[in-house]
Amino acid sequence: MAQPVDAVAALGVLGDSQVRKLWAATLAQSLAVWIAQIALIVGVLEHHDGSSLAWVMLASSLPALLAGLAAGTIVDRHDPRRVAQAAATAGVVLLVGSGFGLAHSLGAGTACYALFLVVRGLSGPASIRVLYATVPPGQRTAGNAAIASVSGISTIAGAAIGGVGVAALGVVDCFALAAGIQGAAAVAFLLLAPPGKAPQASEARLGFRRSLVEGVTAVRGYPLAASIILIGIAWGLIGGGYDVLIGLYGTHVLRGGGGVALGVLYAADGIGVLAGTILAPRLPRRHVRRSYALAYGLQGALWAIFALGHNLLQAVPALLLMRVASGVIIALDTTLLLATVPERLHGRLYAVHSTTYGTVGQVSLAITGILLESASPRTVTVAAGMASIAAGAVWWLAIRGVSGADTEPDAARDG
């Protein structure tokens, strides 16, 4: 019978000073994004309508999606620690520019924020490469879970700090606050030790364009990684409208809805994701794929149950448990994605995954808007839950015959 990951090892990964610094840098960056996004929303709506906000959000996010694949290639060709340092430092300047830009010109503020999201896109693949160079293969699931726990913490703290900050300080000063927290991330990245592995000489000689193309075409050679990218695309299409639906439930669908109700739902969201990332490293190593597929099924079933709730008392427990399942998915996702992939391709495959997921998420927002014109939020949410169950089941049936280690990727070592 498979043994669960040692609990001490799962907790002890943060005992490594390198992982702690990486975790702190990731948390600071995530908080900065939350605070800046709230300041951006408030800043735009102070002088413009909701339609303008929609266009600003699209215009600011699109360049980062287009640059996503290039980000992974850059990380694979250079010292990931230095890439993360440069990106975090540039982010400080761009956040300050976003605040001052919005105060004088909507276009200038949007452009600065878009550039901030572009450079921030370098940090994801860079952080993964640093993490994988730091922890042994047997602790990568725990390491991924530790980094993934940032999502739950920042959802709770970032929204609260951003809301209070913009009310107390104003839009420009709130961007300055975000820049200060981003600066803390830059300092944490600066304190990281060298990852211990330089890009291979063959990779350095390979032209940038060929490196980029290789990263995209390499997906076909790693069925497990390809399956994670495909289910990510599926969930991006299914769940891209999650925030819209949560907003509708918190403000209109549930009895007693309003700002407080919405805050409660997001608090449950954050707590659930955090709990899921803590649970994930303790699941049996030999059943990581089964746990991942089951988590998709539970996520969908609980999302549908949430959709049928009529008040917070009914909805919050379902949402909390649903997000526990989501936290397990988030924590195991990168582990499975990179389990059979050579280390020299880690940045590019990670970027392919995050870019495709983010792109279809934008498409999903449009689909959600169209569906809500003719169907109720309950119907749309239940349908999304059923689709999540189907995605998990199809993935499990498709991947059962694919070989390759899930948590100790001997096959992924470069020879």
Q: Which residues make beta-bridge pairs with 4? A: 284
**Dihedral sign computed on CA atoms, order 388, 394, 400, 406:** negative
3-state SS class at 122: coil
Q: Distance between CA 379 and CA 235 in Å, rounded?
A: 18
Parent domain of 154: 1-199
Asked whether residue 69 is domain-assigned, the answer is yes
Number of domains observed in the structure of the chain: 2
Asked whether residue 41 is domain-assigned, the answer is yes
Q: Are residues 393 and 299 in the same domain?
A: yes
Q: Are residues 284 and 361 in the same domain?
A: yes
Q: What are phi and psi of 303, to 5 degrees?
A: -65, -40
Q: Are residues 169 and 22 in the same domain?
A: yes
Q: Are residues 380 and 281 in the same domain?
A: yes
Q: Distance between CA 113 and CA 415 in Å, rounded?
A: 41
Q: Are residues 377 and 314 in the same domain?
A: yes
Report yes or no on whether pTM surpasses 0.85.
Answer: no
Instruction: Say which CATH number the domain at 308 has.
Output: 1.20.1250.20
Tokens of 358: 């983010």
Tens-binned pLDDT, residue by residue, of the chain (415 aa): 334 444 434 446 778 888 899 999 999 999 999 899 888 888 887 787 766 776 887 788 888 888 887 888 888 888 888 999 999 999 999 999 999 988 888 889 999 999 999 999 888 888 888 888 888 888 888 888 888 888 888 878 887 888 788 888 888 999 999 999 999 999 998 988 775 555 554 455 555 566 666 666 778 889 999 999 999 999 999 988 888 888 888 878 888 777 678 878 888 998 999 999 999 988 887 889 999 999 999 999 999 999 999 999 999 999 999 999 999 999 999 999 998 888 888 888 888 898 889 888 888 878 888 888 888 999 999 999 999 999 999 999 999 877 655 554 443 434 3
Q: Are 377 and 247 in contact (CB under 8 A)?
A: no
Asked whether residue 209 is domain-assigned, the answer is no
3-state SS class at 300: helix
Q: Are 30 and 124 in contact (CB under 8 A)?
A: no
Of the candidates 323, 268, 37, the residue with the CA atom closest to the CA atom of residue 166:
37
**Dihedral sign computed on CA atoms, order 241, 25, 274, 142:** positive
Asked whether residue 369 is domain-assigned, the answer is yes
- Where is the domain boundary, 141, 165, 199? 199
Asked whether residue 205 is domain-assigned, the answer is no
- Where is the domain boundary, 199, 226, 247? 199
- Where is the domain boundary, 164, 199, 234? 199
Longest dimension (CA), the chain: 64
Q: Are residues 250 and 168 in the same domain?
A: no
